[in-house]
Structure 1
């Protein structure tokens, strides 16, 4: 039987020991190369685009020769105004990409010896960078669609006589949300968060290319897909897969997300569920990539991402 890729040496190409022994200078050089790959790490002014700059080595800053604008390697990126060292950021990324089912902010804060809120914000910034990779992506070929509900748990009363039917809407918290996913076989995974699964029909229709074949379960709201796409249905009360029709790839994604939410984060509010859903989708799509390549990919996405409007100044309740 073939060995799972994650268990082979080819998957382990980066370790925390290597991160902390490489030193701050090498970590800084790595961020430079991934910020400006077209010039092999040579600074390019983010203001005017000029590729010639003076290097202020004492402060790790640059001054553009054309417009005299001063900038750093993280200026204008999701890491703008960072306080952590490049080694700590690289270590955080290595920890996150190694955690197949996510890592809690509490654990990350202890590993990095930083405050919980620092680790929490950093993790969310990285999730935003991951999500940007598929911001305008569409799916084609065979696409599986499905939905799963998260959150809104209602704890039953102690005495049986005091317990209520938690299936009724009047006895629910209103915080329960559904993650609707569209997943292309041998392709990308696109999750969306809605209040009801039926709300996701229109959303997934917009990200699936014409001519694609859709696989869905027997839920009645997916009937609307037949008008736009060749749609095949699977009745899960009879079989999970039948004649090649299934939603197993979508269920595989939900398996990872459920373990992430229940096993690591324990509670995810509806406000941030989309970020965790996108994180799980990114991890699922890159599961066959070695961890050094995954870390470099995340750094590249973060360095190519603009300043976060959601997370910069979050604790001060300010927006960019």
Structure 2
């Protein structure tokens, strides 16, 4: 029997020990190379694009010789205004990519010896960097599976049976329940979206699935509209999960990872931020055969190429 990739030595090319043993200088150089790969880490002015810069070593900043603008390696990126050491940022990236089904923020804050809210915002910034890659080139082709799964909105029943209400009725629901709709190419990438009802997936498919593609869906009646635009294989999950090659197992594999992430690690996810976790799971699922070192360097490069986060920069300083 072949060995699973995650059990092989090829999946382990980076460790926390290596990061801290290499030290702050090596971590800083790594971020410089991720920010400016075309010059192998030599600074380029983000304001005028001039390559003529010199380093202010006492403050780890650069100054442009053309426009005299001062900037750092994280200026204008998702890590703008960061206070953590670069070795800690690289360690945080390593910890997050090592967790194949996510990591709780309590655990991350303990590993990094930082406050819970620091770990919380840092992880969400990294999820934004993942999302930029997940939602790049959004038209799917080939054979695409589509499915939905509901998350959140649990209502705890009353203790006494006579006091219990029918939780299926809209009047007795919290309004926080959301559905994650995923469209996933077979042997390709996953593209998730968060909606209120699964039927919204039909309009999402019209926008993000190529008309020359073929599709697979389950027996839910709202997927009947897909037959107007694509050749669609249907599988009745009440009878079986696969019927002579017709299945949505790739989509179910994604939901398996996401549900274990939400239920097993985070325990509760606000509907406001469910899309972040959905993108996180899709990024991990798409790169499940990449080593942890490759994942860490890819995520670091995505973060250094992402703009300042409008949602998370100064999150804890805002007036409620």
Q: Is it true that 1:153 corresponds to 2:171 in the alignment?
A: no
Deviations 1:74-114 (A, max 9, x none): 01000000000001100100000000110011110011010
- Asked whether the equivalents of residues 93 and 295 of structure 1 are also in contact (C-alpha less than 8 Å), the reply is yes
- 1:207 alignment partner in structure 2: 208
Match of 2:139 in 1: 138
Alpha-carbon distance in 2 for matches of 1:119, 1:68: 34
Residue 316 of structure 1 deviates from its aligned partner by 1.8
Structure-2 residue corresponding to 1:90: 90
2:23 partner SS? helix
- The one-character-per-residue Cα deviations of 1:120-167 (angstroms, maximum 9, x if unpaired) are 000000000000013342210000000000000000111111111211
- Corresponding residue for 1:102? 102
Deviations 1:21-79 (A, max 9, x none): 11000000000111111111110111111112011111111111111111111010000
CA contact (8 A) 1:180 1:194 kept: yes
For 2:11, the equivalent position in structure 1 comes to 11
Ranges in structure 1 where 5+ consecutive residues have no aligned partner: none
Mean Cα deviation higher: 166-175 or 97-106: 166-175
Give, in whole Å, the separation in 2 of the partners of 1:112 and 1:38.
Answer: 31
Equivalent in the alignment of 1:297: 298
TM-score norm. by structure 1 comes to 0.98
* Structure-1 separation of matches of 2:225 and 2:306: 36
Hey, what does 2:26 align to over in structure 1?
26
* Residues 33-182 of structure 1 mapped to structure 2, 5 A cutoff: 33-136=33-136, 137-182=138-183
Gapped runs of 5+ residues in structure 2? Answer: none
Q: How many Å separate the matches in 2 of 1:41 and 1:22?
A: 17
Q: Distance in 2 between matches of 1:14 and 1:263?
A: 25
- Partners of 2:134 and 2:277 in 1: CA distance: 15
For residues 75 and 269 of structure 2, what CA distance do their matches in structure 1 show?
A: 31
Shift in Å at residue 204 of structure 1?
2.6
* Secondary structure of the corresponding residue to residue 315 of structure 1: helix
Deviation at 1:200, TM superposition (A): 2.1
Cα distance in 2 for residues equivalent to 1:243 and 1:66? 66
Q: Aligned residue for 1:188?
A: 189
1:232, distance to aligned residue in structure 2 (A): 1.2
TM-score, scaled to structure 2? 0.98
Cα pair 1:24 1:85 within 8 Å, conserved = yes
* Counterpart-to-counterpart distance in 2, 1:235 and 1:244: 13
Check the 8 A contact 1:211/1:230 in 2, yes or no. Answer: no
